Amino acid sequence: MLYLIDTAKLEDIRRVCEYYPVAGVTTNPTIISREKGDFKKIICDIREIIGENKQLHVQTTATEAKDILREAEMIRQTVGGNFFIKIPITKEGLKATEMCKKMGIGVTMTAIFTQPQALMAARAGADFVAPYINRLDNIVSDGVNVVNEIVDIFKVYDIKTQVLAASFKNVEQVHKVSMTGAHAVTINPDLFDMMIYHPLTYYAIDDFTADWQQVYGEKGVCDLL
Ligand code: E4P
């Protein structure tokens, strides 16, 4: 399962990329508008930070297929590299997905809340589908189960579309999604830190340090080789 960062905050992207194994960055209009900056500069800066090879998913704001395609082509030209246009699942979005794929543009079909939406997106040729876990949990649906069934349906029909699960608020949701065989998750920067946090890890490190220092004092391994 790959990890992507769900933010457009440049300092967070730099920090998370420095420490964690990151496959790319996802944004949406809400995430971009939170930065209150120049859209073109934000997406170009993200590309510069992550490099050409990591995935960059940027969402369309258009609603008609021909306009979505136009935005996809322009964003691809602007950011280059490993790029995916995020398109919400609508009739026009499905039409746009087929058009984008014909032009060789990667597509992530987003705002997925049901298994039938995901299958339809896959049949239209989407490279990724993005089901929204926490938003499903918030309406007393079961986000993890929806992902689980999407993964199963794709296996049954030997569909190559990947599941990029989105909208997470806690480690438990990410862990349960990882058990479904989903291909990727996109999570906010704070969740990266929470994913690896455990107090016993720090107790263990403190014990190792104390035991070592009793014998070798402040000397490190390199001092003794
Ligand atoms: C990413 O693709 C989604 O747009 C995002 O994860 C939605 O997250 P939210 O439900 O926290 O807004």
Q: Confirm whether 212 is domain-assigned.
A: no
- What is the whole-number distance in angstroms between the Cα of residue 168 and the centre of ligand 1? 7
The span from the CA of 37 to the CA of 60, in Å, is 17
Give the count of beta carbons closer than 10 Å to the beta carbon of residue 24.
Answer: 23
Residue pLDDT, tens place only, 6-33: 999 999 999 999 999 999 999 999 999 9
144 lines ligand 1 (CB under 6 A): no
| Residue closest by Cα to atom 12 of ligand 1 | 167
Q: Confirm whether 139 is domain-assigned.
A: yes
- Say what the pTM is: 0.96
Q: Confirm whether 137 is domain-assigned.
A: yes
- What is the whole-number distance in angstroms between the Cα of residue 167 and the centre of ligand 1? 4
Asked if residue 44 lies in contact with residue 51, where contact means CB atoms within 8 angstroms, the answer is no
Q: Tokens for 182?
A: 């989903």
Q: Confirm whether 224 is domain-assigned.
A: no
Q: Confirm whether 218 is domain-assigned.
A: no
Asked if residue 113 lies in contact with residue 90, where contact means CB atoms within 8 angstroms, the answer is no
Q: Confirm whether 74 is domain-assigned.
A: yes
135 lines ligand 1 (CB under 6 A): yes
Residue pLDDT, tens place only, 45-84: 999 999 999 999 999 999 999 999 999 999 999 999 999 9
Residue pLDDT, tens place only, 185-224: 999 999 999 999 999 999 999 999 999 999 999 999 999 9
Planar angle of CA 77, 69, 154, nearest 5 degrees:
105
| Residue closest by Cα to atom 5 of ligand 1 | 167
Residue whose C-alpha is closest to residue 146's, from 168, 170, 177: 177
Catalytic positions, written as ranges: 86
| Residue closest by Cα to atom 1 of ligand 1 | 166
Q: Which domain holds residue 45?
A: 2-198
Report the pLDDT value the prediction gives residue 17, as an integer from 0 to 100. 98
Report the pLDDT value the prediction gives residue 224, as an integer from 0 to 100. 98
Predicted confidence band of residue 104 (pLDDT cuts 50, 70, 90): very high
Q: Confirm whether 219 is domain-assigned.
A: no
Q: Tokens for 204?
A: 């263990």
Pocket test for ligand 1, best of 4, 25, 28 (most atoms within 8 A of CB): 28
Output the domain CATH number for residue 141.
Answer: 3.20.20.70
Residue pLDDT, tens place only, 134-185: 999 999 999 999 999 999 999 999 999 999 999 999 999 999 999 999 999 9
Q: Whole-number mean pLDDT of the chain?
A: 98
- What is the whole-number distance in angstroms between the Cα of residue 9 and the centre of ligand 1? 14
Report the pLDDT value the prediction gives residue 124, as an integer from 0 to 100. 98
The span from the CA of 17 to the CA of 83, in Å, is 17
CA distances from 202 to 18, 206, 209 (A): 21, 6, 11
134 lines ligand 1 (CB under 6 A): yes
Total domains in the fold of the chain: 1
Q: Confirm whether 208 is domain-assigned.
A: no
CA of 57, closest atom in ligand 1: 2
CA of 110, closest atom in ligand 1: 2
28 lines ligand 1 (CB under 6 A): yes
| Residue closest by Cα to atom 9 of ligand 1 | 167
